[in-house]
Each structure stands twice: as C-alpha cells, then as structure tokens.
Chains A and B, each alone.
Chain A
Amino acid sequence: MTTAESVISDEMRAAIGVEHAAGVMEIENTNCRMFARSVGHTDAIFYDEAAAKARGYRGIVAPPGFLGTPIFKPGSGAGAPGETGGRGFAVPYKRILNGGTDYEYFPDAPDGDVICAGDTITARTKIAGFEEASGSLGPMLITRRETTYTNQHGKVVAKMYGTLIQY
C-alpha cells in the first residue's frame, strides 16, 4: 500500500458520513414468508400470524437478514440500500465484490423493536469510511457503508454494515 497513490479523492472524503436520500422498505406477511421459505426456516413465527402472536410478537416476524422490500417504481433502480451501492466515484478499479454484511438488531423496547409484518421501515445509508489495502487481488479500495432502519414508530430496529471491495 502506497499512500502516494491513494485513490481516495477529496470528493470521496467529503461524502463520508453524509446520508443518502431515505428509502422506504415494506415488511409484509407474504415477503416475510417468501424470505423464510427461501432460506429454509422452520419456525412458525415467520409464516403464521397466530403462532407469532402467541409468542408475543405483533405479527409475522421478519426473518434474520430480512429488512423489507424496497418500493419499486418503474424506471428507477430496484436495489436494496446499502448492500453494494457507493460505486459512483471515479476510481481506477473495474471489478467489484460484495465483501460482506453484518446485521445489528435492537429488539428491546422502548427504543427498539422486533421487525414484524405491517411495519414500514425507513432506510438511511451513509458511507462510514474508505480504506485502501493490497492483497492477492492487488490494490483495492474498501468502502464501508452503514444503513440505519427506523420503523413507523420512530424506533431504530436494525443497522446493516456493508463492505464493498473494488479492485
């Protein structure tokens, strides 16, 4: 790694910590079930409203890693926020990898809650930082992004930390 050849521009540095436009994510019975089914979950709280309520939840529970479906509008990008965005800067790397994702939940009332069907979540993404490294793929730029998910009651219910690798 040679700092003399850094690809991190002033424009990129200025973007750190700035929130992008908020996106709205819908959590519904059907998309919770679909996600749970595609993973292979067997717990009834991801499929059956009565089973979820019997366990004290407000409705069908969003399975781990499910943060809703973005509202699709024709002509706009349909991607979920946070996973692989942030590639809009001019860097000399052509290839891109999703380096990994971490999820954080805040299930405790009164400040947080468990995400359930019927919730409408507002997602706000910001770039947490850039790093440069050199590995088996050669020099690379690592972009760390952080998305905060707030429900319709103003409670922060999740955060997602995404790592994007360009090389």
Chain B
Amino acid sequence: MTQVYFEDVAEGAEIAQLKKNCSTQQLVLWAAGSGDFYQIHYDKDFAKGTGLPGLIVHGALKNAFLGQLLHDWIGERGTLRKFGCAYRGMDYPAQDILCRGVVKKKYSDGGKHFVELDVWTENPEGKKTSPGTALVTLPSKS
C-alpha cells in the first residue's frame, strides 16, 4: 500500500474512488456483521409490503463503505478521526455505488496534520445518496 503524505494533498483535490455493487448476499452478510436484521434489506416481499420498489441497501453499510474509502486512502500511517453521512437517498442491490471524497481543508495543529474532506456515495445517475464529511490525519514528510 502506498502511503499518502500531508504534503501530497491539495485542497479541492479528489481522492481515489471506491466502487461498490452489492449483491443480495452482501446485504445478508452485512445484516449478520452489523446486527441490523430489518427485513427491507433481504426479504423482497416484506420490502414491497412497506411500499418500497424492492430491497434497498442499508444506509449504515454505505457509511461503512465511506469508512473503507478513507481507511484505504490514509494508508498505514494515517488515522481516521471522524466520518459519517446523512442517509439521503436509497441505493439498490446490483447497482453501482460510487464512493468519493474531496479534500476540503488541510491544517496542522499540535504536531498533527489534519485533512477535512467531503465524502459521499453516488448512484448511477450521479445523485449523492449519502453525503457526509470526514476528518483524518496524515503523516508529514518533514
């Protein structure tokens, strides 16, 4: 894994994207992994009975995808301080979910090198279904 350094980062720059596409099996794995067994995520009849078009991806799973996006970007020597998102729009199994992030601000404080980001998941129409923010630290070359 290549390490990104604080000096490498520019405000306004986009970080490496992470593309996801959930099978229904992945949603069942997530139900077990997270403990969220709400049936709208794996029982199609139940989901339709609540008025949904079909199964939907868990909001918290998309949040965890953003966690992976950040974890993979900051490398072994970065630290993840804050991340999260709003559950604004639905995503569906077997559709791409593109996880993206853009550097909003960078600053140093108390010997640590902080980077604030806007992060989000995006559906195939380009709509931000889970907009959020993050705060990480990166190592410095100096």
Contacts and interface: CB of A to CB of B under 8 A. Distances in A.
Interface residues of B, number: 35
Given A64-B70, A64-B71, A65-B63, A39 B85 contact: no
A39 B65 contact: yes
A42 B64 CA distance: 13
Contacts of A42: 72
Given A39-B30, A39-B65, A78-B35, A98 B87 contact: yes
Given A35-B33, A100-B59, A104-B82, A63 B67 contact: yes
B2 interface: no
B68 A39 contact: yes
A102 B33 contact: no
Interface in B55-100: 59-61, 63-65, 67-68, 70-72, 76, 79-88
Given A39-B65, A64-B64, A107-B81, A100 B33 contact: no
B132 interface: yes
Interface of B: 1, 20, 26, 29-30, 32-36, 59-61, 63-65, 67-68, 70-72, 76, 79-88, 130, 132-133
9 contacts: A38-B29, A39-B30, A40-B65, A55-B76, A63-B64, A100-B88, A100-B130, A101-B60, A102-B83
